Amino acid sequence: MQLILHTGGHYTEEDRLLKSLQSNHDLLTQAGTHTPSPSTYRGLFRDTLNAMYKSSAAEGARDVLLDAVMGDSDADRVIFSDANFFRTPATAVVEGMLYPAAPVRMMRMAQLFPDDELQIFMGIRNPATLLPVLYDVAADKSPTQFWGDKDPLDVRWSDTLGLLRDSAPEINITVWCNEDAPLIWGHIMRDMAGLPATTPLKGEFDLLETIMRPEGMKRFTSYLAAHPEITAAQHQRVIAAFLDKYAIDDALEEELDMPGWTEELVEDMTEVYDEDLARIQEIPGVRVILP
């Protein structure tokens, strides 16, 4: 089977993405894709993965897990979404590393499903805006535990993704920047569901509605209805054009409450984030969805 693991990250649009996908239940079912309720698997995966730190999974654990979530579905592609696949927000940063538990967790998943095709889908976010949130909920805020020997400019997603690929090279990874999500929401949904790029979906503009004024959304949807022939690339340009004119003021601005965070530091960290994205695109087995 194809097992699609949407692993967050935390404080992106993880739950909204699952809801957007589930709003297309009938279409996805027809295409052989199952989107089970998170209540059927989140606890099961957590308990199983935690137990595997002490011993290997019991024989037949794979079938037990899938039986619990599949019900009467005969789908060959299943989407699991859980921002806590790599542990909770309280331990998302340890000694300056984002999700240090992720490599071992995915190695365990590969052991649990040795004959299935696993894929990771994950939204990443500028550490300049993410780290203050994770620091606020961190289990241990001490400098030695949270930062280790690193400073904010040393925190890079490419380090985590590179270790993920090293630990489970059979699992391909698809990532996108959460900051780009309104522009590529439909693209992300279709890729996760294994659908052609031209497939219309309910909810593919769910995120766009949160940052565009109602009159802009009305004109945008009217434009699309009048131009059904536009390509995916043209779609992106149209969205960008309407956002330029109708974006909700301050919708994309965030208050950053973090000791030592200055405007200059945020700008420097954003520059590092942009450079890191280029580095991520060079990691074998990692694909980046861009606008």
CATH architecture of 2-203+272-289: 3-Layer(aba) Sandwich (3.40)
Provide the residue ranges of all domains of the chain, joining segments of one domain with +. Answer: 2-203+272-289
pLDDT of residue 252: 59
State how far Cα 255 lies from the chain centre.
22
One digit per residue, the tens of pLDDT, for the chain of length 291 reads: 999 999 999 999 878 999 999 999 999 999 999 999 999 999 999 988 888 888 888 788 899 899 989 988 999 999 999 999 998 999 999 999 999 999 999 999 999 999 999 999 999 999 999 999 999 999 999 999 999 999 999 999 999 999 999 999 999 999 999 999 988 999 999 999 999 988 989 999 988 988 999 999 999 999 988 988 887 778 888 998 998 899 987 755 677 788 889 999 999 999 999 999 999 999 999 999 998
pLDDT in tens, 224-280: 889 888 877 788 889 989 988 999 877 556 777 888 899 999 999 999 999 999 999
pLDDT in tens, 57-76: 878 889 989 998 998 899 99
User: What whole-number distance in Å separates Cα of residue 129 and Cα of residue 160?
Assistant: 18
Reference 93, options 61, 63, 127; nearest CA is 127
Half-sphere exposure in the Cβ direction for 15 (13 Å, CA): 6
User: What whole-number distance in Å separates Cα of residue 52 and Cα of residue 244?
Assistant: 49
pLDDT of residue 155: 97
Look up the pTM and report it: 0.92
User: What whole-number distance in Å separates Cα of residue 271 and Cα of residue 114?
Assistant: 39
Half-sphere exposure in the Cβ direction for 146 (13 Å, CA): 17
